[in-house]
A and B are shown apart, each in its own frame.
Chain A
Amino acid sequence: MAQKTMIQAITNALDLELAADPKTLVFGEDVGKNGGVFRATDGLQAKHGEDRVFDTPLAESGIGGLSIGLALTGWRPIPEIQFYGFIFEVMDSIGGQMSRMRYRMGNTRNMPITIRAPFGGGVHTPEMHSDNFEGLVAQFPGMRVVVPSNPYDAKGLLIASIRSNDPVLFLEHMKLYRSFRGEVPDESYEVPLDKAAVSREGSDVSIITYGAMVREALKAADDLAKENISAEVIDLRTIAPLDVETIIASVEKTHRAVVVQEAQRMGGVASSVISEISERAILSLEAPIGRVAAPDTPFPFGEAESIWLPNAKDIEEKVKATLDF
C-alpha cells in the first residue's frame, strides 16, 4: 500500500476508471496536455489518448451540456469545472437539467456524470476560486454532492461516483490536495456513497462535519481528549442526500452535537444536519446543538482567510460551551 496525497489518489482513481471502463471520458479546461491546473489529470491524456481525455473550449455551461449529451449517447462523462467558484455558469446544466433527467423522463434514462471541482479556503486564491457554496447544489433532488476529507476516501468515493448512474458533484478541497498523505491501496475499490464515516469514536459529544473541517475536528478532538473530553467525529462524506441514520445514532449515544461547516452560516449543509437532529433526536439532547461556521459575508479576500475560516480552536470552544450548558 502506498502513501498518497489526495490529488494523487484522485489521479489514480481517474486512471483506473479510464482503464476499466472504455466509456469513461475525462474533459474540461486544461485537463489534456496540461494535466489540469492542479495536475489532477496529469499524464492521463498521454496514457489514455485524446479521445478519452480532452480539452474543451472555455465555457462551463458548454461543459455541462456536453456532459448531458455524452451521457445520453452511452458515455460516462467525468467533466472538471476548473474551480467550484465558476459553478454559477453551469448551474442550469446541473440544477435544471442533469439532476432531473431521470425524473423528467420517467426513469428511462441514466445520467452517469461525475462533475469534479476544486473548492474551499485556505490556499489564498484570487476571488471566486475558493467559494464553498456546496449547499446550493445540495438542494437539487437527483444530485449527490460528495466531499472527501482524506486520500483513501477520495479515491474510493470518486470511483463509486464515476460508477453511479446518477449525477454526482464531487468537490475536492484545495487545501487537502497536498497537505498530507494517507494510506491508499493500489487496486480499485469503492467507498459507498450516501454513507457517513465515524472518523473517531467518542462518548461525550458528536462533532459532525465534512471536507477540510474533518481535519480541524480531529485536531480539536485530540486536544479535548487531553482534558478528558471524548469527542466523536462524524465525516459526512456525502453531504446530499445526508446519511441521517449515522448522525442520529451518534447523537443518541453522546447526547450532544456540534455541527461544523467551513461555509457561511446562512443556508448550507449544517442547517440541514441541525434540522434533522432537532426533528429526530431532540429528546436525546442534553444541550442545544452547537454550530461552527464562517460568518455571513462573501468568501474573504486572500490575506483575510485566517480570520474568517473556522478552525480547531473554534470547534473546541463550541464543544466546551455545549458541555458546560
Chain B
Amino acid sequence: MALHPAIDFDQLVSGQTADFPMIQILDEVGQVVNGDIMPTLTDDELVALMSQMVWSRVLDQRSTALNRQGRLGFYAPTAGEEASQLATTFAMKKTDWLLPGYRDVPELIQHGLPLYKAFLWSRGHVVGNEYPEDLHALPPQIIIGAQYVQTAGIALGLKKNGSDEVAWTYTGDGGTSQGDFYEGVNFAGAFKAPAIFVVQNNGFAISVPRDKQTAAKTLAQKAVAAGIPGIQVDGMDALAVYEVMKEARAYAAAGNGPVLIETLTYRYGPHTLSGDDPTRYRSKETDDLWQKRDPLVRMRNFLTDKGLWSQDQEDALIEKTKDEIKAAITQADQVGKQTVSRFLKDTYEVQPQNVAEQLAQYQAKEAK
C-alpha cells in the first residue's frame, strides 16, 4: 500500500503501459480474423509475397547446408522470421533505404542485392559489399544498434533532400537495450524524419530471454518515451506485418515522423552457425509452440483456400530457388581473390604517405 495515493508507484507502473494489442489478420491456420484491415493486395501480389517467403525458407536450408560444407562463411539462420522480414520489405519501395542487421540478408536481396553478393558477404569478400549508387542500402550491420542511429541520419538526409523516400531498419529484442536504439529513435522523432524502426522480437538475444532484457511489458512501448507511434504486430502473419508496415510507410512519407514496429516472431534455428546450440536455453515446448504459428503454413492455407496456391506450384518454386542458389554460388566462386593492395586503395580517397608506401610494398609482393 502506498502511503500517499498521489505517489503510488505500484499503480503508476501497472497503469503505465499504453494499450499495445497485437495486430493480426490471419490466425495460425490461415483463417481471417480481422478482415477490416485486410491489405488491398492483388492476387499476383499475394502470390509474390508467399513466393518470397518460400524462397527465403529454401535459402535458409541451403545456406545452412552450404555453411556446413564450407562453401559459405558467417550465417545467421532466418527460418521462422519470413513474415517479419519479407512482408516488411514487401511494403517498401525500391528507392527506400534499408539498413539491415546481420540476420536481414533476405530483405537485402529482395531490395536488390544480387544473391551471389550476399554469398560473398557471408564468405568475407569485399565484392559482396560493392553496392551501386542506386541500391539504397548498407551492408548488414554487425554492431547491434549502430544501424538505428544511422537510420535517423539517412532519414534526416532524405527529408532535407525533399525526397519522398523512407529509411527503414531492423534490430532484435536484445537490440532495444542498446543506447543507440534509444538515440536513433529519439533523434528521428525529434527531427520528424521519415524512418521506420522494426524490432524483430524473436524472444532471445542469442540465449538471453526477452523477460531478462527489460522490465518493459512490450518493446513497442519504447516508442512512447520518444513521442512516436509504436505498434505490435503478429510477426508470423505476413498480411498483418505487410499492412502495418505499409501504413507506417505512408505515415512517415507524409512527413509525420518515424514509427516503431515490434514484430513477435521466432527463429527456429540457432543464433548463428558459429557454434550456438539453442537447446541450452530454449525448451522443445517453446519451439513446438512457435512452429505451430509458422508464417508459411498460415499463408499457404489462406492462398490455397482462395485457389491461388498449390503444392505443385510450391514444389516448382523450391526447385527454381535451388537452381538460383546453385548459380549464385558458381558466380561467387568466379570472383577473383582479394588483394591487400585493393584494401589499401579503399581506405582513403587521397592516399596518405603510410598507405602509399605500403601500397608499393604490397603491389610488389602481389606481382611475384
Q: CB within 8 Å of B: which residues of A?
A: 25, 51, 56-57, 59, 61-62, 64-75, 92-93, 96-97, 102-110, 141-142, 144, 164-166, 193-194, 238, 241-245
A sample of 21 cross-chain residue pairs with beta-carbon separation below 8 angstroms, ordered by A number, consists of A51-B160, A56-B187, A56-B190, A57-B183, A61-B149, A62-B186, A65-B183, A67-B153, A69-B155, A69-B156, A73-B153, A73-B158, A73-B163, A92-B180, A96-B143, A97-B146, A105-B138, A106-B126, A108-B130, A108-B131, A166-B350
Given that A96-B143, A107-B345 are known contacts, is A62 also in contact with B160, CB under 8 Å in the complex?
Answer: no
Contact with A along B316-333 (1 / 0, CB 8 A): 000000000000000000
- Alpha-carbon separation in the docked complex, A152 to B27 (Å): 70
Residues of A within 8 A of B131 (CB): 105, 108-109
Residues of B within 8 A of A72 (CB): 138, 150, 153-154, 157
Q: Determine whether the beta carbon of B352 is less than 8 Å from that of A241.
A: yes
- Alpha-carbon separation in the docked complex, A25 to B157 (Å): 10
Q: By the criterion of a CB under 8 Å from any partner CB, how many residues of chain B are at the interface?
A: 45
Q: Determine whether the beta carbon of A73 is less than 8 Å from that of B154.
A: yes
Q: Determine whether the beta carbon of B187 is less than 8 Å from that of A62.
A: yes
- Alpha-carbon separation in the docked complex, A194 to B130 (Å): 28
Least CB distance, B108 to chain A, in whole angstroms: 13
What secondary structure prevails in chain B residues at the interface with A? helix
Q: Determine whether the beta carbon of A66 is less than 8 Å from that of B353.
A: no
Q: Determine whether the beta carbon of A57 is less than 8 Å from that of B190.
A: yes
- Alpha-carbon separation in the docked complex, A82 to B184 (Å): 19
Q: Determine whether the beta carbon of A92 is less than 8 Å from that of B146.
A: yes
Residues of A within 8 A of B184 (CB): 62, 65
From B157, which residue of chain A is reached at the shortest CB distance? A73
Residues of B within 8 A of A69 (CB): 149-157, 167
From B178, which residue of chain A is reached at the shortest CB distance? A61
- Alpha-carbon separation in the docked complex, A69 to B129 (Å): 17
Q: Is B132 an interface residue when CB atoms closer than 8 A count as contact?
A: yes
Q: Determine whether the beta carbon of B180 is less than 8 Å from that of A241.
A: no
Q: Determine whether the beta carbon of A93 is less than 8 Å from that of B146.
A: yes
Least CB distance, B124 to chain A, in whole angstroms: 11
Q: Contact partner of A93 among B149, B155, B187, B345, CB < 8 A?
A: B149
Given that A51-B160, A75-B157, A92-B143 are known contacts, is A164 also in contact with B179, CB under 8 Å in the complex?
Answer: no
B130, B132, B187, B190: most-surrounded residue (chain A CB, <10 A): B187
Least CB distance, B52 to chain A, in whole angstroms: 26
Q: Determine whether the beta carbon of B349 is less than 8 Å from that of A68.
A: no
Q: Is B69 an interface residue when CB atoms closer than 8 A count as contact?
A: no
From B99, which residue of chain A is reached at the shortest CB distance? A69
Q: Determine whether the beta carbon of B130 is less than 8 Å from that of A68.
A: no
Q: Is B161 an interface residue when CB atoms closer than 8 A count as contact?
A: yes
Q: Contact partner of B180 among A65, A71, A106, A142, CB < 8 A?
A: A65
- Alpha-carbon separation in the docked complex, A93 to B184 (Å): 12
Given that A102-B346, A104-B139 are known contacts, is A70 also in contact with B146, CB under 8 Å in the complex?
Answer: no
- Alpha-carbon separation in the docked complex, A72 to B149 (Å): 13
- Alpha-carbon separation in the docked complex, A25 to B132 (Å): 25
Q: Contact partner of B349 among A64, A97, A110, A238, CB < 8 A?
A: A110
Q: Is B127 an interface residue when CB atoms closer than 8 A count as contact?
A: yes
Given that A105-B130, A194-B353 are known contacts, is A62 also in contact with B156, CB under 8 Å in the complex?
Answer: no
- Alpha-carbon separation in the docked complex, A244 to B130 (Å): 32
- Alpha-carbon separation in the docked complex, A305 to B180 (Å): 35
Q: Determine whether the beta carbon of B349 is less than 8 Å from that of A61.
A: no
Residues of B within 8 A of A96 (CB): 143, 146
- Alpha-carbon separation in the docked complex, A74 to B187 (Å): 19
Given that A62-B187, A66-B187, A103-B343 are known contacts, is A242 also in contact with B354, CB under 8 Å in the complex?
Answer: yes
Residues of A within 8 A of B150 (CB): 65, 68-69, 72, 97
From A60, which residue of chain B is reached at the shortest CB distance? B183
Least CB distance, B253 to chain A, in whole angstroms: 15
From A54, which residue of chain B is reached at the shortest CB distance? B191
B139, B158, B186, B347: most-surrounded residue (chain A CB, <10 A): B347
